[in-house]
Amino acid sequence: MARTLAMFTDTSLCIGCRACQVACKQWNELGAEAPEWTGTYQNHAHFTDQTFRLVRFVEEPKPSGDLAWLLMSDVCKHCAQAGCLEACPTGAIYRTEFGTVDINQDVCNGCRYCVASCPFGVVHFDDGSGTARKCTFCNDRIHNGLGPACAKACPTDSIQFGFRDELVAKAGKRVETLKGMGFKEAQLYGADTGGFLGGLNAFFLLLSKPSTYNLPEHPRLPQRNVVVDSLLSIGSALVVGLGAIVSFRSRGKGDGDA
């Protein structure tokens, strides 16, 4: 496998301009969707099959009473342990040699199991194509020496693209700097390969706790319980089976042979 590539989204540098969101649509030829009223600038409310990058706008009062408007460009996390990939029964979802997670649109049959299996609510079913879609990490671009379209468009380098190890080192320093500047809650999300889901190949720097950004504090791999659940089902089968065997072995007392 090639050296792992990553996207690092540093929300402390994000100005919410949504150039990333638009660049993604343009490059990936995604369609526009009638927006919903979210009460703020954010649109759309969630990732969709036509929206792979989504800039979130979170109004949150700071302890000082001042307002903070947290701006965050959200995207598929390209999890090292990816719920979507584990779920996919066709092998349409696969890991590229760069460590990113992509969906092969020609293989996907639209079962939507991945949709329910992403801990971040990223994958979305496309009614038009009948397949599941999400950020491709610009698979076509990275194989041709170009960075992701969203990172390319970002004017403030809030989205950075590069080798994962290098980005993680850089991100670590940035957190320290920010803490020094008084951002006490500055933290990395998904940078640690020893942390949840084996680390995210699209990881983030957040200025507040993950839940503020609508991110799960401790995302877990959905498939972690297959074995337990299966064993319990087998147990259940044994009990039911026993009941049936007992019932059928007992000699019938009543009338009516069949």
Partner 1 sequence: MLKTPHWEMMIVWYFFLGGIAGGAYFTAAVADAFGTARDRAVARIGYLVALPLVVICGALLIADLGVPMRFLNMLGTFKFWDPMSIGAWALGVFGLFTFASALLSFSPSPPAVAWRRKIGLVGIFFGFFLASYTGVLISNTALPFWSEGRLMGALFLASGASTGMATIALILFLTGGAGGEGWRKVKQADRYAIGFELCVLALFLVLLGSAAAPLLGGRLAVLFWGGLVVVGLAVPLALELVAHRTAALGAVSAVLVLVGGFVLRYVVVMSIQT
Partner 2 sequence: MTTNLIDIQHADVIMATSNMAENHPVGFQWVMKAKERGAKLIHVDPRYTRTSAAADLHVPIRSGTNIAFFGGLIHHAIENNLYFKDYVVHYTNASFLIDPAFKTATDGDGLFSGFDTSKKTYDRSTWKYQLDADGNPKRDLTLKDPHSVFQLLRRHYSRYTPDMVERVCGIPKAKFLAVAKLYCEHSGPEKTGAITYALNLTQHTTGVENIRALCMLQLLLGNVGRPGGGVVALRGHANVQGATDLELLFHELPGYMAQPLRDVHPDLATYLDKETPKGGYWINKPKFFISLLKAFYGDAATEKNEYGYQWLPKRASADAYSHQHIFVDMYAGKIRGFLAMGQNPAVGGPNAKLARAAMQKLDWLVVNDIFITETAEVWKAPGTNPKDVKTEVFFFPMAPAAEKDGSLTNTMRLIQWHEAAVKPPGDCTSDAAFIVRLAHRLQKLYAGSKKDRDQGFRAANFTYGEHPDEPNMELVLKEISGYAARDIADKDGKPLYKKGQALSTFAHLTDDGATAGGCWIYGGVINETPDGKLVNRAASRKPADAKDYLGHGWGFAWPANRRLLYNRASADLTGKPWSEKKKLIWWDPQAPGAPDKPGKWVGLDVPDFNALLAPDGKNGDKPFIMRADLVGALFGPLVDGPFPEHYEPVESPVVNLLSKQQRNPVAKIWEVPDEKNVLAPVGSKEFPYVITTYRLTEHHLSGVMSRQLPFLAELHHSHFAEISHELAGELGIANGEMVTVASPRGKIHVRAMVTSRLKPFVVDGKKVHQIGVPWHWGYKGIDALPGSKGDITNDLSATVGDPTVFIQETKAFVCSVKKGVV
- Which residues here bind partner 1, judged by CB under 8 A? 46-47, 83, 86-92, 107-113, 115-127, 129-132, 214, 216, 222-230, 232-233, 235-237, 239-241, 243-258
Quick check: 71 and 57 in contact, CB under 8 A? yes
Residue 148 binds which entry of partner 1, partner 2, ligand SF4, none, CB below 5-8 Å type-dependent: ligand SF4
Residues 129-158 that bind partner 2 (CB under 8 A): 155-157
Quick check: 159 and 151 in contact, CB under 8 A? yes
What backbone phi and psi angles, to 5 degrees, belong to 192?
-80, 120
Shortest distance (Å) from residue 190 CB to ligand SF4: 9
Q: Is 68 near partner 2 (CB under 8 A)?
A: yes
Shortest distance (Å) from residue 127 CB to partner 1: 8
Burial class (CB in 10 A: 0-12, 13-18, 19+), 222: middle
> How far is Cα 51 from Cα 18, in angstroms, rounded to an integer?
12
Residue 142 binds which entry of partner 1, ligand SF4, partner 2, none, CB below 5-8 Å type-dependent: none
Quick check: 257 and 120 in contact, CB under 8 A? no
- Looking at residue 258, its amino acid is A
Residues 13-52 that bind partner 2 (CB under 8 A): 13, 15-19, 21-22, 25-26, 31-41, 43-44
Q: Which of 16, 190 has the CB closer to partner 2?
A: 16
For residue 132, CA distances in Å to 89, 101, 159 come to 13, 13, 25
Shortest distance (Å) from residue 124 CB to partner 2: 16
- Looking at residue 2, its amino acid is A
Residue 75 binds which entry of ligand SF4, partner 2, partner 1, none, CB below 5-8 Å type-dependent: ligand SF4
> How far is Cα 187 from Cα 207, in angstroms, rounded to an integer?
6
Number of residues that bind partner 2 (CB under 8 A): 36
Can you tell me which residue has the tokens 């009338």?
A: 255
Quick check: 219 and 119 in contact, CB under 8 A? yes
Residue 137 binds which entry of ligand SF4, partner 1, partner 2, none, CB below 5-8 Å type-dependent: ligand SF4
Shortest distance (Å) from residue 173 CB to partner 1: 30
Residue 217 binds which entry of partner 2, ligand SF4, partner 1, none, CB below 5-8 Å type-dependent: none
Can you tell me which residue has the tokens 């401790």?
A: 218
H-state helical runs in 76-225: 83-87, 113-117, 139-142, 149-153, 164-180
In 3D, which of 168, 140, 190, 196 has the Cα closest to residue 5? 168
Residue 54 binds which entry of partner 2, partner 1, ligand SF4, none, CB below 5-8 Å type-dependent: none
Shortest distance (Å) from residue 73 CB to partner 2: 13
Q: Give the interface with partner 2 as residue ranges (CB under 8 A).
A: 13, 15-19, 21-22, 25-26, 31-41, 43-44, 59, 61, 66-71, 155-157, 177, 181
